[in-house]
Structure 1
Amino acid sequence: MSDAARPGDADPERTADAAADAVDAPSDETGAPASTSEMLGAALGGAARRAGLDPADGRSTGHVVWKAMGGWRGILESVLPGVVFLVAWTLTYDADTRSGNLLLSLGLSVGLAAVFTVVRLVQRQSASAAIGGLIAAAAAAALSLWTGRGEDSFIPGFLTNTIYGTAFLVSALVGWPLIGLAVGFLMGEGTAWRADRRKRRVFFWLSLAWAALFALRLIVQLPLYFAGDVTALGTLKLVMGLPLFAPLVAVTWLAVRALYPRAPK
């Protein structure tokens, strides 16, 4: 099937595929400089490797997804502070003021994140993710306490989703999808994947899928923020967190493994 657009051809999939070829095709005149792309690929690939997302490892999909979520400890560290905030807010909610006990809810949530961080430090385990989560939780709490609005504690999350979503979208549209840069580093081929039409397409669509995930969170959650519905906002943040992250990690892993099949022993 030809990828060139034909007069009267209204097939959206064919049009999108042609767009993917157009933006991802190798070019000597456009695109990121090799040194920049290699540095970015090394940074992304290193982060993916530390998260257990190395296609060269030969791990099962289930193992990879579990490792990416951090196992039981990572899941608890990611979910429990939000659950504690939501429960405390709901239990102390006053229908007259349409607000819960903000100080108590935030204090319990940030306190729990601090406990997780201290435990990792005492056990001399990698605490970078826990420390990052603690800083983010503290910043969100500080902002919310400053404004006196519980919904403002979700603003840092909105900013994070906006930045990540924009990065994935723009990288795909300019022909240097972030997924491809990371995988190229992990598989030791740098940016050579850009000469392979199949890989370009897969990395293009995977990057768009990740951009769509971050955009979906914003589309669903922002109206609740403006409505001041903290309970619904907190619930949907949890629902649209790991439950959506894990399947997309699995899809990404399977797609990349299909592109780089293991050599028979």
Structure 2
Amino acid sequence: MNEHPGGATPVTRGERPERAGHGGLRALDADRFDAAAAVGGWRGILESVAPTLVFVCVLAVRPDALVPALAGSLLVSAAALLARLLGRQPLTQVLGGGALAVISALWAWRSGSATNFYATGLVINAVWLAVTGGSLLLRRPLVGLLLDAWHAASGSGRGEQSAAAARRHALGTAILAAMFALRLAVELPLYLAGEAAVGALGIARLLLGLPLFAVTVWFVWLVVGPALRRAPAPAPQG
């Protein structure tokens, strides 16, 4: 579950500027949901999708071209990093994506199996499923913890702290857990099928990546938003 700081949600009429969400779960704190901003804006979308898309396309043309496919994916990530460096823009998202691309490429290259390019993503989704599920079992829903941390870091008022809000946080966390479970349910059998399913696995990764994440965050926003929007805005500083 990544935050995507590549774009910012514009402050819309009636929205509190200090609570304008941008990127990932920060979008939950906005008065109006912006799907593009939730996944980092169009630039963030391109940076996240392009490395995998290049990998899939190269292997679709030449199924035996594992090394060129890995090299193309890494070059795209490097180009995104260089563009942000030259533009003096935040590097958080592109560095995370670049590190993931390097680890995935090394795993696939060392094993000689194209399917292992996607193994890192499977591990990450499994970890997040365990985290979200564990937070529900401990009755400390991850969505509530992240929103509290975001409010504390931004200096804005905390959301509603009632039992109803806690139930909303739990439901929002369950929705996130369902997203990770769905990814694993679709991608793991394709991964276990081996090289014969590498193209299908790549397509599944693209479809279950940012598009599913945007839809999931929207559902979470619908669930937890009412409690957040009932919270009073912080008093203006003298």
Q: Could you state the TM-score of these two structures normalised by the residue count of structure 2?
A: 0.80
Q: Which residue of 2 aligns with 1:33?
A: none
Kindly report which structure 2 residues correspond to 1:114-125, keeping only aligned pairs within 5 A, or say none.
Answer: 114-125=78-89
CA distance in 2, matches of 1:145, 1:104: 11
Distance 1:220 1:111, change over 3 A: same
Residue aligned with 2:90, SS: coil
Task: Select the residue among 110, 113, 127 that pairs with 1:149.
Answer: 113
Pick aligned residue for 2:175 from 201, 209, 222: 209
> 1:67, CA displacement in angstroms?
1.4
Is the counterpart of residue 61 in structure 1 residue 33 in structure 2?
A: yes
Give unpaired runs (5+ residues) of structure 2: 1-19, 234-238
**1:87 corresponds to which letter in structure 2?**
C
Change over 3 Å in CA distance of 1:231–1:257 after alignment to 2:
same
Alignment of 1:3-42 (within 5 A): none
- Structure number with greater Rg is 1
Counterpart-to-counterpart distance in 2, 1:160 and 1:181: 20
* TM-aligned CA deviation for residue 51 of structure 1: 2.4
What is the alpha-carbon distance in structure 2 between the residues aligned to residue 214 and residue 159 of structure 1?
11
Picking from 186, 209, 215, the partner of 1:241 is: 209
1:110 maps to 74
- Alignment length (residue pairs): 206
- 1:134, CA displacement in angstroms? 0.8
Summarize the alignment of residues 45-124 of structure 1 with structure 2, pairs less than 5 Å apart: 51=23, 53=26, 57-58=30-31, 60-62=32-34, 65-93=35-63, 100-124=64-88
Shift in alpha-carbon separation, 1:263–1:222, aligned structure 2, 3 A = closer
Relative contact order, higher structure (CA 8 A, sep 6+): 1
Which one-letter code corresponds to 1:178 in the other structure? L
SS at match of 1:260: helix
Seq. identity, %: 35
- The answer as to whether partners of 2:49 and 2:206 remain within 8 angstroms in 1 is yes
Distance 1:182 1:140 in 2: 27
Distance 1:236 1:56, change over 3 A: closer
Aligned-partner SS, 2:229:
coil
State how far apart, in whole Å, the 2-side matches of 1:57 and 1:206 are.
16
Q: Distance in 2 between matches of 1:216 and 1:54?
A: 22
Q: Paired residue for 2:157, among 169, 188, 209?
A: 188
Q: Which residue of 1 aligns with 2:103?
A: 139
Output the aligned Cα RMSD: 2.3
Deviations for 1:66-86, whole angstroms, at most 9, x for unmatched residues?
Answer: 212111100100111111100
Deviations 1:164-197 (A, max 9, x none): 111111101111001111223426348x82xx22
**Corresponding residue for 2:4?**
none
